[in-house]
Amino acid sequence: MNKKIISALYKKEITDILRDKKTILMMIVVPLILYPLMFLGSMALFSSILSASTSKAYTVALDGVNDPDAMKQYFKDNEEHFKYTFIIKEPEEGETDAALLEAGTIDAYVAESVSDNHPYFEIAYRASETDSQTAAGMVEKMLSKYRDELRSEAFIEQGLDEKAMMNPIGFFMKDYSSNEENVGFLMGYILPFLLIVSILMGALYPAIDTTAGEKERGTLETLLTLPVNNMELITAKFLAVSTIAVAAAILNLLSMGGLTAFMASSMNMLSDNMNVDLVSFIPSMGVTFICILVFALFASAVSLCSCIMAKSFKEAQNLTTPIMLIFLLGGMAGMIPSLELTEKTALIPVVNITLLIASIFKFHFDLSIIAIVLFSNIAYSALAVVIMTRLFSSEDILFADSAASFRIMEKRADIKKGQIPGMGDLVLLFAILLLGLLFIGGLFAGKFGLWGVIMEQLMFLVITVFYGWYIKVDFKKLFHFNGFNIRGLAGSVLAWAGAYLILVLLSALLAAFFPENADNTALYDLWGNNPVWLAVVSSALAPAICEEVMFRGFMLGTLENKYSAVKAVILTGILFGAYHMSLNGLIIIGLLGIVQSYIVNRTKSIYLTMITHFINNLLAVLSVLYEEQFTKALPFLAGDELPTSTMIIMALSGAVLLSLGMWMVGKKEVK
């Protein structure tokens, strides 16, 4: 990558974007003019409605009232107190309340009757009419005042102490949270949503302009004649869009901040008893600012990634609509009370930023979680940028109709049999599975327990197989559905056992360096509270089949076609590790995934790794369920502190088993 070229391209992109009237409109006019106008307009409207409702006279019909004149007088006497004007009307013969209300001649209809020897008032109104609703509300207020007065009189008549009778006990609430905390709580609700929306709005328009717009205006081919590589081009576009998104977010913040300050001062919110120490918000503001920067990167990457596939403005807008919806929903995550920022939720895009801003405004600073949120956003952005460079080098996307590099976008009837999925398909499927895991996975397990775990696995299996079916892959070849022989089986089991021994050591070592409080207790509890067979089926059998089909089937098969065997095996392992979403998981499970992929790559039989995967997970389930017996039987696999000699023996025997197994499956005649 050439920094000079990137800076030249960046300058070009920024100039190009800023010279577009529509962008300027979105960026400056909306936050700086439209917001204040909307705000002032709604204030004016609100106050005019308020004054109109009090200055207006409402017509109320009184029917069957015991003493109509007294009641009329009561209404009249209280006009001053409630600030309203009533015109009292008595209904004529044959006029019903419903008909009068519908005709609009009256706003409320009050009828008195007797129920259980008590006078009983019915206030009829139409909730769909503003005037009728207001009038009914006023009548209700008036009648309850009337009731209270009658009650007081009754108490006095009986010679009773009204206060003691009505309120035998007293209580009051005392709030110990500081004004700052209250303000922060409120900010945590609103601020993330506003920020996410304004950043996305700031990113979307330039993203469309710089991709689909460039295609539509015909400058894309010009750009391709320049001595620039894809990475430089995408980086420049990405940085330019991010810059605009950050600028838009800051303008929005300033505008909203100014309005809030104006509102606060005009409403005297900042009077003596509501003193807020603004200095205490500086750290939160600082973290929020970093969040804005990082989220701008993420929003720009995601919007560019989808816009790049569109050939026109219109198509780009269609493609970005679902993104907008997802972002809006994610922005509302802070309003779901039970949703807290944990190591898991810190990985969910959009939701994590929302929750982080909400939590720092409640003055909860958990550095490790802040780091996870920021790094995961950067990682997702980087992934999106890499995908973009791939998309951008695809002539299908540059010159042809539209998103053709994903075979799934084609009509199934047009697809020839025996396809091998492309890299676009692989990335798309992986993204679908990852998003499914993040957004739906926990939900299933939470609702249906271990059955949910099985359902989740089956869902992913169905998605993968459907994808393969839709693009008409050669199932046997891509998914490695081939038989195996005894040597292959023995070799696989030995290789797995060797890898397992080494990885047990390695994970103990890693745990010392990166203490990870991976929260598996929920899963362990589920295992303990269910029949053993269900634990085994959900956590050993289902993953052994489903994950193998996903990774050693679809992904390995795709990568083998694209890259050398070594690269394909390693990449599959990395994807497998990344899918398990934790640092230790990435390394340990990634390495296990590499060994598994090697076995399938050599033997072309996915059944072998289904078996080793099953044994592997079975061991994990049993080690939790029968912890005591397990520790007794296989102390070296469970003990936390092992003597050095045992560790050396384990490492050596692991290495021997692994090499022996790999040699056995690697031999040519194994089929």
Partner 1 sequence: MKIETDKICKQFTRHVNEVNDKGGRKKSHKEDFYAVDHVSMHADSGEILGVLGPNGAGKTTLLRMLGTIMHPSEGSVFIRDDEGQIVKDPVILKKNIGYLSGNTKLYNRFSVREMLFMLAEIYGMDKEASEKRIEEIIGILSMEKFADNRIGALSTGQTQRANIARCLIHSPKVYIFDEPTLGLDLLSSEAIINFMKTEREQGRTVLYSTHYMEEAQYLCDRINMLYQGRIIAEGTPGELMERTGTTNLRETFRALIKETEAEHE
Binding residues for partner 1, rule: CB under 8 A, are 2, 4-5, 8-9, 11-12, 15-16, 19-20, 217-219, 221-222, 224-229, 395, 399-400, 410-411, 413-414
Q: Which is nearer to partner 1, 395 or 519 (CB)?
A: 395
Element (H, E) at 289: helix 282-307
CB 36 to partner 1: min, Å? 29
Q: Which is nearer to partner 1, 4 or 668 (CB)?
A: 4
DSSP letter assigned to residue 31: I
Q: Which is nearer to partner 1, 280 or 393 (CB)?
A: 393
Q: Which is nearer to partner 1, 9 or 357 (CB)?
A: 9
List, as one string, the DSSP characters of 255-281. Answer: HHHHHHHHHHHHTTTTSGGG---GGGG
Q: Which is nearer to partner 1, 222 or 564 (CB)?
A: 222
CB 398 to partner 1: min, Å? 9
DSSP letter assigned to residue 414: G
Q: Which is nearer to partner 1, 223 or 518 (CB)?
A: 223
Cα separation of 129 and 141, whole Å? 18
CB 402 to partner 1: min, Å? 12
Strand 108-115 to strand 118-124: parallel, antiparallel, or no bridges (unpaired)?
antiparallel
CB 19 to partner 1: min, Å? 4
Q: Which is nearer to partner 1, 228 or 523 (CB)?
A: 228
Element (H, E) at 60: strand 57-63
DSSP letter assigned to residue 394: -
Strand 57-63 to strand 108-115: parallel, antiparallel, or no bridges (unpaired)?
parallel
Q: How far apart are the first and last CA of the chain?
A: 44
Q: Are 211 and 310 in contact (CB under 8 A)?
A: yes
C-alpha pair distances (Å), 450 with each of 437, 445, 538, 626: 15, 6, 6, 18
CB 12 to partner 1: min, Å? 5
The token pair at 462 is: 């169905």
Q: Which is nearer to partner 1, 14 or 62 (CB)?
A: 14
Q: List % helix, strand, coil for the chain (3-state, nearest 5).
A: 75, 5, 20
CB 3 to partner 1: min, Å? 12
Burial of 112 (0-12, 13-18, 19+ CB in 10 A): middle
63 strand-pairing partners: 111
The token pair at 96 is: 């019903």
Closest CA to 422 of 448, 378, 387, 377: 387
CB 219 to partner 1: min, Å? 5
Q: Are 492 and 611 in contact (CB under 8 A)?
A: yes
CB 636 to partner 1: min, Å? 55
CB 10 to partner 1: min, Å? 11
Q: Which is nearer to partner 1, 102 or 401 (CB)?
A: 401
